[in-house]
């Protein structure tokens, strides 16, 4: 992954059906959401196989754990997919398990290590809870 990448840069680098709707990178809250997704994915290991968690489910996982005082909390599924691709994960579409970059759809799986994902979910959830208690 590049040291820093914006949503707009990711859209240009990872062209794919469903990931470039008009104006979607222009929406400032999605840039915040994209950065939140990148932070959430940082340090999560990649596997040689694809996890059975869909991009739609993963975007909700991030939404539940994002601190609304730091990031915009609504994440487009395409925003999460671009963040995962920018983080170096590979993607496969859920439908027909065809390659994402072959224009087959938006909902996909990634080669994300599930134990790291669970750990990150727990860490971010606990941190968000602590912040809300202050």
The answer on pLDDT for 123 being more than 60 is yes
Phi (first) and psi of residue 93, to 5 degrees: -70, 150
Q: What pLDDT score was predicted for residue 3? A: 64
Distance from C-alpha of 75 to C-alpha of 101, rounded to nearest angstrom: 21
DSSP assigned state of 70: T
Domain-by-domain residue ranges, the chain? 7-133
Instruction: Give pTM, 2 decimals.
Output: 0.78
18-66 pLDDT, tens digit per residue, is 555 554 555 557 888 899 899 999 999 999 999 888 999 999 989 888 7
Phi, psi of 116 (to 5 degrees): -65, -40
């Amino acid at each position: 992954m590049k040291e820093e990448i914006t949503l707009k840069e990711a859209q240009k680098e990872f062209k794919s059906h469903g990931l470039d709707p008009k104006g979607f990178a222009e929406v400032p809250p999605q840039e915040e959401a994209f950065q939140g997704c990148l932070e959430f994915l940082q340090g999560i290991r990649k596997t040689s196989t694809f996890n059975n968690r869909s991009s739609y489910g993963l975007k909700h996982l991030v939404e539940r754990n994002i601190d609304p005082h730091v990031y915009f909390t609504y994440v487009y599924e395409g925003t999460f997919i671009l963040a995962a691709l920018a983080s170096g994960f590979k993607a496969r579409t859920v439908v027909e398990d065809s390659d994402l970059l072959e224009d087959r759809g938006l909902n996909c799986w990634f080669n994300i290590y599930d134990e790291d994902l669970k750990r990150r979910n727990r860490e971010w959830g606990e941190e968000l809870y602590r912040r809300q208690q202050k």
